[in-house]
Amino acid sequence: MRKRSLLALVIAALSPAGLRAQDGAPLPLSFAAAVSRAAGGAPLITLAGLRTDEARARVREARAPLLPGLSATGSWVNQTLNKDALGFQFPSLPGFPSGKRIGPFDLVDARLRVTQTLFDYAGIVRVRAARSQLAGVQADSGLAAESAVQATALAYLKTLRARAIVAARQADSALAAELVRLAQAQQDAGVGTAIDVTRARTQLVAAVGGLVLARNLEERARIDLARTLGLEPDTPLELTDTLAGALPLAELPAARDSLVALALERRHDLAAEQARGFAARRAGSAISAERLPRVDLSANYGANGLSFGEAIATRLIAVQVTVPILDGLRRESRQAEQQAAVRASDVRLAELRRQVAADVDAARLDLSSAEQQQAIAIDRLQLAQQELDQSRERFTAGVAGNIEVINAQLSFVRARDADIDARFAAAVARVALARAVGVARLLH
């Protein structure tokens, strides 16, 4: 019974279906396709696009006071007046109203009104400041795209790593099952011991347990990848790339100074801070320009009278000049606030430039270390494979117990995991370097 249970467990663990039960054909997805999809339609980018639309609307709102205004009004009034309250003194003659009350009488009016700002330099500068804010929001959109691509790239690589670990645990389980078969065959032939069989079965159960855990981690990584792409969590995905190749790739210069120069040119967070600094300066200039005169034109044309039949055409044209003199020092306080904002932006910009260089240096160091670790892991895996092959030959020949094979298998498992981790670390370092330079969207 125990043998049957163990056999059933091995068959279930090695089954291709594993723990997944997804319906429908899986979606083929390469690394380049995942990056392209993330750069074009990830939820973070959609939200950033909406913020850009809001900023464009604010530019139009700032420009509105400089554009013509047109309105139409119509009114009918029936009223009475107190002539004494208005200061009217009519003589007591026929035809003149007697008493204090005048009316009731009707008054109708229909009119078109036009307004146009002829000169408002402060309004012009406010439009420029709004455009600088729009440039900052657009740079933030680029930053959101870089972040979305980085998140998707890392999720893709984590899924590849989980898939590689599943394949490794399947191979471990198959090797452990083969060891159980050999140990049992030797015991049946009288050249093996029961302890060898027990050790082999213990190793098999441990390998199957590791496979179950690896498949769970693979499924969770697939869910995370689907979410970064804006897909439903249960979307089946078929990843077409592996960690075996030099993934991902990005055309970057090798020299450190060239990388830093490219990063200073391409980093969207740097561009966003520069745009915010320009916006703060222009907002301060707009406050200073409020001291200049403002010239407005207004005109209206319509008809009014005591009734519609008696209404006559009337018009008005006016030019108004407004000269600000004193507003309780509010203007000076607002200008001081903007000057502080400009100085704060300059400090952030200088610190961000240093941070860009530090990010590039750190990413280069991580990539160099990961590539060296990858070369070491390859050598270690080859030696562990040789050790495992030699121990299996000795056990099959009956000159050694299976404890030697089990130790060699454990060493091989650790070496294979180290190789997977080294390849994953190198891929992650390449993503980090592209992100530090600001070209994560060019990964493929």
Residue 224's domain is classified under what CATH number? 1.20.1600.10
Distance separating alpha carbons of residues 162 and 62, to the nearest angstrom: 52
Question: Strand locations in 34-186, DSSP E?
Answer: 69-82, 101-119
Of 394 and 93, which is predicted with more confidence? 394
Count CA atoms closer than 13 A to 147's CA, side-chain side. Answer: 14
Of 375 and 400, which is predicted with more confidence? 375
Residues 6+ apart with CB under 8 A from 320: 295, 296, 297, 298
User: What's the mean pLDDT in 363-379?
Assistant: 94
Per the structure, the complete domain to which residue 184 belongs is given by: 2-442
CB atoms within 10 A of CB 41: 13
Collapsed DSSP state (helix, strand, coil) of residue 242: coil
Distance separating alpha carbons of residues 106 and 104, to the nearest angstrom: 7
Q: What is the pLDDT of residues 322-333, one digit of tens each?
A: 999 888 888 899
pLDDT for 96 beyond 70:
no
* DSSP 8-state code for residue 444: -
Distance separating alpha carbons of residues 432 and 372, to the nearest angstrom: 17
Residues 6+ apart with CB under 8 A from 162: 214, 217, 218, 220, 221, 222
Residues 6+ apart with CB under 8 A from 93: none
Domain count, the chain: 1
Tell me what pLDDT residue 199 has: 86
Tell me what pLDDT residue 21 has: 43
Tell me what pLDDT residue 17 has: 47
Q: Is the Cα dihedral 299, 301, 305, 307 positive or negative?
A: negative
Of 280 and 192, which is predicted with more confidence? 280
* DSSP 8-state code for residue 66: G
Q: What is the pLDDT of residues 244-281, one digit of tens each?
A: 767 788 889 989 999 999 999 999 999 999 999 999 99
Collapsed DSSP state (helix, strand, coil) of residue 297: strand
Percent of the chain whose predicted confidence (pLDDT) is above 70: 91
Of the candidates 159, 152, 363, which has an alpha carbon nearest to the alpha carbon of residue 260? 363
Tell me what pLDDT residue 200 has: 87
Tell me what pLDDT residue 14 has: 55
